[in-house]
Amino acid sequence: MSNAAKTDEQEATQVSTKSAETTTKPGTRQADPAPASAGHSVSVNDLHAYYGSTEAVKGIGIEFAANQVTAIIGPSGCGKSTMLRCINRMHEEIQGARATGQVTLDGLDLYAPEVDLTAVRRLVGMVFQKPTPFPTMSIAQNVAAGLKFTGAKNVDVKQRVEQSLQAVGLWDEVKDRLNSPGIGLSGGQQQRLCIARTIAVEPEVILLDEPCSALDPAATLKIEELIAELKAQFTIIIVTHNMQQASRASDTTVFMLDGLVVEHAPTKQLFTNPKDNRTERYVTGQFG
Amino acid sequence: MVGGGRSVLERSPLHRLPDRLLKWGLTGLAAAILALIAYFFIRLIGQSSGTFGLSFIFGNHWAPQINAYRAAAMLVGTLITSTTAMLIGVPIAVATALYLTELCPRRARTPLSLLVDLLAAVPSVVYGLWGVFFLAPKLLPAERWFANTFSFIPWFGGGAGTIAPTNYFIAGLILAIMILPIVSAVSREVLATVPNEHREASLALGATRWEMIRTAVLPEARPGIVGAAMLGLGRALGETIAVVLVIGDAPDIGKHWFDQGYTYASVIANEFGEATGLHRSALFACGLALFVLTLLVNIVARIFVNRSARGKSYGTGDQGAVAAGAVAQMT
Amino acid sequence: MSTIEPKTATRLQLPRISARRRTTDRVMRALLAAATMIALVPLVLVIYYLLKEGLGSMTSAGFFTQDPTGSFFGQIGGIRSALLGSLEIVAIAAAIAIPIGIGLAVFLVEYGGKGSKPMRVFANTVRYFVDVMTGVPSIIFGLFIYITLVISHIGGNFAGWKGSVALSLLMLPIVARSTELVLQTVPDTLREAALALGAPRWRVTSRVVLPAALPGIVTGSLLATARALGETAPLLFTVAVANALTFNPSQQMNSMPVQIYNDILSPRSIVNSQAWGLGLTLVLIVLILNLVARGISRKSRSAGS
């Protein structure tokens, strides 16, 4: 174990000498999934989430498999976004909101009393509904924003920025204007920029809260492709109100209703042969 | 409303009259306000001609007894007291705005904001009263200590032998207290226009609360906060009564921070009573200089505030409304 | 697109947050909270000293029932003429400024925003200058009235009503801008509904829009009034000094801020004490007005406007 006291950030999951070379194959996509590697699974146990006295999540237990894309669907108000935000402990940032229960990442208890919130969020990244590049920062600065917080002494920032932009497929589009403002990009590009920003800090899990709802179909498709690639390295959980997207882009799907999990099954099965009657009514558009 | 052979849809032309009257009446009113401002400018210039000029602004010799009117001392005093007020008041005001917007628990936010805003409710003459009888004497020992300890810094220290209880510093300090509420209120409005999504994005990346403020909130709010500071400056430049009571009213440029001085506003308030002829004209010239100064500062301030106050609209998208709302309630 | 190298299996640990970051966070948050407390210290001190030095004077016999004598020895009297003078001067100022301010606001919102381009440019110019007026020092308003009304000897030299005019100039932008803001928050759907019923524009304004905006208008007016009560400089040039009680606005009248100002300058310490008492009175009035105004505004906001 290297001398942890000296470095600003000790990332136990990353060997500090890892050079992280990327093989650039312009124009080609990685079609097959990466060989099974040790990703990290998220486990939610008996989670209750409250806004003041209102209970939005009423006791949920889910296992999110490692290196898979799990979609969460359900009508608005069912608590899916709330549940998602409990995983990276953003829920409690809202005044008066709290959560009880357990969320573990590969056995690591994220709600343990001595746990620092910022550490949790380094491990569990989040992409929001509305693309939010920081308006006063350039593209490169945006991607590096998370690294700035950690002091990034062991990291070559430039290289990490390039890697992340390559990973989201933005590199070729922006490599000549890394210093131009982040908000100068199109909506889809901005969202990919936000994804690049998130993966630049090398989390284990990526949460996406309706990431495509503000984007046009072409951009949406691009992001879905990106998600399919990213699962090789990350565990991905995506909340979406778009059922077609869930069926296209995910391996497993969870259907939530009124703060509880109704069904949790491999995507194909949930959409073609749902076990629960409510699931069937929802996916056939009878309500919600 | 139907009479004679008129159809139901026809209205008597008289019906339009009140509307027309109202519209043109109000337009005339608005035009009158503009005319009033222009008229004032012209009259003021007229009254101060004879003494106004470059030597008036930059020359330093104010002796009404011999009809000498060069007001550099007033210019310097105005600038020194206002700068002092900014140096002390703006950081504290912005800090309170940040605290109240980003860190304060929700339940405490309203009462604390109210208390900060109430600083603006205290009339300036009461601040002067408090300054003369309480603050100035109480701080005298501290000022002596400061001047002694830092005597190696020119102008800030070293004047320990000649400290007057009423001086630039005290005036600047009272001004700082007086501009604090307006700078804080406008800053708060500006901070509120930073979209919450940026705060969340920053926290989700693993930022601590302070890092979030430093990287996601402050850079966006900076132009607006600069504008808020300038609004405070405008207020400090023109403040009369509190300053005239605590600055010592000496028509010369003070030798150090704790020395007596004068400001444009103070000299007018002090000497107007018995002034006639050229003396009075010189005082008007001071008023003109002050007017122009505060106008410029206010105009530039609003440019900055408007630049940052995007997003929060009151239905018409008027960016100035954000600041004006705060300002109207504060000034 | 490039490939991402899959990670090798390692045991998961929470990244350690550097002590430096943690300390910085704690220190900065404490500093910001401390600054807020520091900001409140002057308020506490002012009120404390007002009470300490002024309560005795304010509760002394004859404080409210006698006029100041202004003499250098003997009885100092009370503050009656100052209190009543202020109330009258500000009442007249309010009677001038509030209707005109509301009229300006109505113009800006109901007529200035729509209509032809020149009209809109004009309205924006007016709005801009009214805005700038809020930053003009009060002494300038005093000078203005002095130039236009006093020097020219219209209606005598110094007079209470001239002070009222000066104060109304000060109140005008405050009332106009805050009323404008409130009028803008009245939803357009309300106006459209009234117009659709066939009401002429002026009726829509007077019967529908203004009543809906009433709490906000009252708030703005109260705040402007509170501000005017505390202003000294405009009165120095227009009303001068008077000790005797008079209700005639064409005469010189006493007022609270001017009385306090003169009392501070007096060499008699007992007169200085009276300054504290009068200051306390003035601050109490102003604070009550402020709190009432904010109470109205908050109640109307929570009632859902």
Residues in chain C: 305
Q: Does residue C15 lie in a domain region?
A: no
Contact of A33 with chain C, judged by CB distance below 8 Å, is answered with no
Interface test with C, best of B116, B240, B306 (most C CBs within 10 A): B240
Contact of A90 with chain B, judged by CB distance below 8 Å, is answered with yes
Q: Do B203 and A119 touch (CB under 8 A)?
A: no
pLDDT digits (tens, 9 = 90+) for B229-264: 999 999 999 999 999 999 988 888 888 888 888 999
DSSP state for residue A276 in the 8-state scheme: S
Averages of pLDDT over each 10 residues, chain C, 305 residues: 44 76 92 96 95 89 83 81 92 94 88 76 84 87 83 72 90 92 87 84 82 90 94 85 80 90 88 92 94 86 60
ipTM: 0.88
Q: Which residue of A has its CA nearest to C14?
A: A119
Contacts of B196 in chain A (CB under 8 A): none
- Tell me the pLDDT band of B9, cut-offs 50, 70 and 90: low
Contacts of A166 in chain C (CB under 8 A): 1-2
Q: Do B37 and C123 touch (CB under 8 A)?
A: no
Structural domain containing residue C232: 80-304
Q: What is the pLDDT of residue A262?
A: 92
Contacts of B105 in chain A (CB under 8 A): 95
Interface test with C, best of B19, B48, B241, B303 (most C CBs within 10 A): B241
Q: What phi, psi does C18 have (nearest 5°)?
A: -60, 145
Contact of B216 with chain A, judged by CB distance below 8 Å, is answered with yes
Averaged pLDDT, B103-116: 91
pLDDT digits (tens, 9 = 90+) for B174-211: 999 999 999 999 999 999 999 999 999 999 998 999 99
Averaged pLDDT, B289-309: 84
Helix, strand or coil, per DSSP, at residue A78: coil
Contact of A93 with chain B, judged by CB distance below 8 Å, is answered with yes
Given a cut of 70, is residue A240 above it in pLDDT?
A: yes
Contacts across the A-B interface (CB distance below 8 Å): 64
Neighbours of C293 (CB within 10 A): 23
Contact of A201 with chain C, judged by CB distance below 8 Å, is answered with no
Interface test with C, best of B90, B96, B126, B302 (most C CBs within 10 A): B126
Given a cut of 60, is residue B98 above it in pLDDT?
A: yes
Q: Does residue C32 lie in a domain region?
A: no
Q: Does residue C273 lie in a domain region?
A: yes
To the nearest whole number, what is the mean pLDDT of chain A?
A: 83
Q: Which chains touch C (3 or more CB pairs under 8 A)?
A: A, B
Contact of A146 with chain C, judged by CB distance below 8 Å, is answered with no
Entry pTM: 0.84
Q: Does an H or E element contain A70, and which? A: strand A69-73
Interface test with C, best of A6, A13, A19 (most C CBs within 10 A): A13
pLDDT digits (tens, 9 = 90+) for A158-214: 888 999 999 998 999 998 999 999 888 998 999 999 999 999 998 999 999 999 998
Q: In what order do the strands lie in the sheet with A42-51?
A: A54-64, A42-51, A97-105, A108-109
Contact of B214 with chain A, judged by CB distance below 8 Å, is answered with no
Nearest to C18 among A9, A108, A123 (CB): A9
Q: Does residue C289 lie in a domain region?
A: yes
DSSP sequence for B134-181: IIHHHHHHHHHHHHHHTTTSTTTSS-GGG--SS-HHHHHHHHHHHHHH
Q: Does an H or E element contain C39, and which? A: helix C19-58
Q: Do A121 and B203 touch (CB under 8 A)?
A: yes
Q: Do A30 and C3 touch (CB under 8 A)?
A: yes
Q: Does residue C71 lie in a domain region?
A: no
Contacts of A4 in chain C (CB under 8 A): 16
Q: Which residue of B has its CA nearest to A123?
A: B206
Q: By mean pLDDT, which of B13-22, B55-64, B202-211, C85-94 is the weakest?
A: B13-22
Find residues 109-148 of chain A whose CB sits inside 8 Å of chain B.
118-119, 121-122, 125-126, 128, 130, 132, 134-137, 145-146, 148
Contact A267, A238 (CB under 8 A): no
Nearest to C233 among B23, B240, B298 (CB): B240
Q: Does residue C128 lie in a domain region?
A: yes
Q: In what order do the strands lie in the sheet with A252-257?
A: A124-127, A205-209, A235-239, A69-73, A252-257, A260-266
Contact of A194 with chain B, judged by CB distance below 8 Å, is answered with yes
Q: Do C14 and A120 touch (CB under 8 A)?
A: yes
Describe the crossing of helices B319-330 and B277-308 by its angle, rounded to 10 degrees: 130
Contact A145, A100 (CB under 8 A): no
Secondary structure of B76-140 in HEC code, one letter for each residue: HHHHHHHHHHHHHHHHHHHHHHHHHHHHCCHHHHHHHHHHHHHCCCCCHHHHHHHHHHHHHHHHH
Residue type at A80? K
Contacts across the B-C interface (CB distance below 8 Å): 269
Contacts across the A-C interface (CB distance below 8 Å): 99
Q: Which chains touch A (3 or more CB pairs under 8 A)?
A: B, C
Q: By mean pLDDT, which of A21-35, A170-184, A226-240, B88-102 is the weakest?
A: A21-35
Q: Does residue C8 lie in a domain region?
A: no
Q: Do A229 and C11 touch (CB under 8 A)?
A: no
Higher-pLDDT residue of A15, B57: B57
Q: Which residue of B has its CA nearest to C35?
A: B92
Q: Do B203 and A93 touch (CB under 8 A)?
A: yes
Query: HSE (CB half, 13 Å, CA atoms) of B266?
Result: 30
Nearest to C25 among B180, B208, B245 (CB): B208
Q: Do A134 and B202 touch (CB under 8 A)?
A: yes
* Number of domains making up chain C: 1
Given a cut of 50, is residue A23 above it in pLDDT?
A: no
Q: Which residue of B has its CA nearest to A128?
A: B201
Q: What is the pLDDT of residue B327?
A: 52
Cα–Cα dist A259/B281, whole Å: 77
Alpha helices in chain A (DSSP H): 80-87, 117-123, 139-150, 157-167, 171-174, 187-200, 217-230, 243-249, 267-272, 277-283
Contacts of B207 in chain A (CB under 8 A): 118, 146, 149
Q: Do B201 and A150 touch (CB under 8 A)?
A: no
Quick one: tokens of B199? 């705060």
To the nearest whole number, what is the mean pLDDT of chain B?
A: 83
Q: Which residue of A has its CA nearest to B206?
A: A118
Contacts of C19 in chain A (CB under 8 A): none
Q: What is the pLDDT of residue A24?
A: 39
Neighbours of C50 (CB within 10 A): 24
Q: From the CA of A63, how many Å to the nearest CA of chain B?
A: 22
Cα–Cα dist A131/A169, whole Å: 16
Q: What is the pLDDT of residue B305?
A: 81
Given a cut of 60, is residue B75 above it in pLDDT?
A: yes
DSSP state for residue B48 in the 8-state scheme: H
Contacts of C15 in chain A (CB under 8 A): 9-12, 119, 122-123, 150
Cα–Cα dist A225/A204, whole Å: 19
Nearest to A90 among B203, B208, B216 (CB): B203
Q: What is the pLDDT of residue A86?
A: 94
Q: Which residue of A has its CA nearest to B221?
A: A136
Contact B276, B256 (CB under 8 A): no
pLDDT digits (tens, 9 = 90+) for A251-272: 999 999 999 999 999 999 999 9
Q: From the CA of C5, how many Å to the nearest CA of chain A?
A: 7
Contact B211, A121 (CB under 8 A): no
Contact of C19 with chain A, judged by CB distance below 8 Å, is answered with no
Neighbours of C277 (CB within 10 A): 24
Distance between first and last Cα of chain C:
53
Q: Which domains does chain B have, with CATH numbers?
A: 48-328 (1.10.3720.10)
Q: Does residue C72 lie in a domain region?
A: no
Given a cut of 60, is residue B11 above it in pLDDT?
A: yes
Quick one: tokens of C98? 């509030």
CATH of the domain at C175: 1.10.3720.10
Helix, strand or coil, per DSSP, at residue B198: helix
Helix, strand or coil, per DSSP, at residue C53: helix
| CA-based torsion, B108, B110, B113, B117: positive or negative | negative
